[in-house]
A and B are shown apart, each in its own frame.
Chain A
Amino acid sequence: MAIINLKKKEVQAKIVYYGPGRGGKTTNLEYIYKKFRNRIQTEMVTIKTHGDRTLFFDFLPIEIGRIKGYDIRIQLYTVPGQVKYESTRRLVLRGVDGIVFVADSLAVRRNENVLSLKSLTENLASYKKSISEIPLVFQYNKRDLLNEGIPLLPVEWLEKDLNSKLNAPSFEASALKGPKVVETMKKIIIMTIDSLRKDLT
């Protein structure tokens, strides 16, 4: 749930990057942080563990600035993707306002994507939130590997597996190299702020 302080005119929204392990959630935030750190002027917090994996979460706050008298702050989080950290994922989802589902385009990861989306649906339900109602953007990551001859899932398959019922906006991205990383983030921020507008008037 976003923190909206009407008295102080502050809005703080929470966006979570969710998806299977090693899919590129942290890399998304790292790209944004490295590329725009001079502009966003905040620090990224990350807690890693064995083999560079996310242990609890990554956290990147972004100050959007004052709009219509409201100070808008966005908090980007990632969840640990590894299967064993289910309880941590659920915890990070508490109070979430928008989700980016980072799917792994590698052909060998097809099942992991589906399982991760299922876990997202269940974890949201535990907070009485529906995946079909919360602002959601899909990012099909690692598309750059197509040029390197690595077997990837066709986007049509990813859409069918993950997005056929939800019909959420989706982007073909490469978190490592940058294409569509920023677009994904802008889209989810706009959708999230949109969903909060009714509380701001």
Chain B
Amino acid sequence: MAKQRDRDDFRSQVEDRLEHLFQEDSPGATDEHVGLVEHPLKGLKAVMLSIDWEITDSTMDSLLNEIKNVEFIYSEDRIILTFLQLLGSIGRYVKANKGRAHPEATRLINSVYEALERVALTEGMSRSHKEKMLLEEVAKFKKLKEQVMLRKGEKQQPVVSEATPPPAPAWESEKIRGEGIPAREEEFPVRKEAYLETRPEGRFSEMSPHEAFAYALEEIKNVIRAEFRALRAEIKLWRESK
């Protein structure tokens, strides 16, 4: 009997302590924006939530299709449209690269969608606030683009060619309002861009012999570093699979 009383007392003390530790000031944070019941973003949100990031073609196709639908609805709203173009660009990149896509890409796609939803649903949000939110996402996008470029540069041996450098990719020539947002398919840098980033000014054939040698030496070092990084990653994966 005394033992039972002691146990009950113990339990009630635990309950009290938990109550004290985890007392909520305002249970259930209030959401300042309205719901999505009949909103044009409803379909897009459903797709975003349904996406399992063990990425498949069908989930990414659904996302891209839904973006197209919403783009049509918001064809007059420049800010929302730009958000959607950002989403589309990252979505196409993730679809093309799947498991090899940069880890930040999937994080960014969520971040862009969340910002888009806030902008679209928050009543009374000023245009400048919307633009600020957009620019934040654009900055993240640019950062990702650089990271992807860097990653490709690390993974692949730059092609040293005497050919004329390739023309600027689509995303360089078709910027939206000068913000660096891709409007076409080729939004993420490919191998040649990485090469152009690391290559010294001027063509290889125009370098003096010692400059060309120093450049080639640096490239070899980069390749060796990249190979070691790849090997370490392989060993880590192999250990994890054991």
Contact = CB atoms under 8 A, between A and B. Distances in A.
Interface of A: 21-22, 32, 35-36, 39-40, 49-53, 62, 64-65, 67-68, 72, 82-84, 106, 108, 142, 145, 147-151, 174, 177-179, 182, 185-186, 189-190, 193-194, 197, 200-201
24 contacts: A21-B53, A36-B22, A50-B53, A50-B99, A50-B103, A51-B107, A52-B106, A64-B17, A64-B18, A68-B10, A72-B17, A83-B54, A147-B35, A148-B36, A148-B42, A148-B45, A149-B42, A150-B36, A182-B27, A185-B22, A189-B14, A190-B14, A190-B18, A197-B7
A195 B103 CA distance: 41
B9 interface: yes
B13 A67 contact: yes
A82 B240 CA distance: 15
B54 A82 contact: yes
B166 interface: no
B123 interface: no
Q: How large is the interface on B (under 10, 10 to 19, 20 to 34, 35 or more residues)?
A: 35 or more
B31 interface: yes
B50 interface: yes
Given A50-B106, A148-B36, A193 B11 contact: yes
A51 B103 contact: yes
B11 A194 contact: yes
Contacts of B6: 68, 201
Given A106-B49, A182-B22, 9 more contacts: A36-B22, A50-B53, A51-B107, A52-B53, A53-B53, A67-B10, A67-B13, A186-B15, A190-B14
A90 B36 CA distance: 38
Interface in B72-111: 99, 101, 103, 105-107, 110
B176 to A, nearest CB: 26
Nearest to A192: B14
B28 to A, nearest CB: 4
A54 B35 CA distance: 29
B206 interface: no
Contacts of B27: 178-179, 182
B52 interface: yes
B17 A67 contact: yes
Max count, chain B CB within 10 A of own CB: residue among A51, A84, A179, A194: A51
Nearest to B107: A52
Contact of B37 (A40, A148, A179, A201): A148
B37 A147 contact: yes
Given A67-B10, A67-B13, A21 B103 contact: no
B21 interface: yes
Max count, chain B CB within 10 A of own CB: residue among A35, A142, A149, A190: A149
A11 B123 CA distance: 50
B163 interface: no
Contacts of A65: 17
Given A53-B53, A148-B42, A201-B3, A190 B11 contact: yes
Contact of A108 (B3, B28, B50): B50
A92 to B, nearest CB: 14
Contacts of A147: 35, 37
B201 interface: no
Contact of B14 (A174, A177, A193): A193
Contacts of A177: 28-29, 31
B124 to A, nearest CB: 20
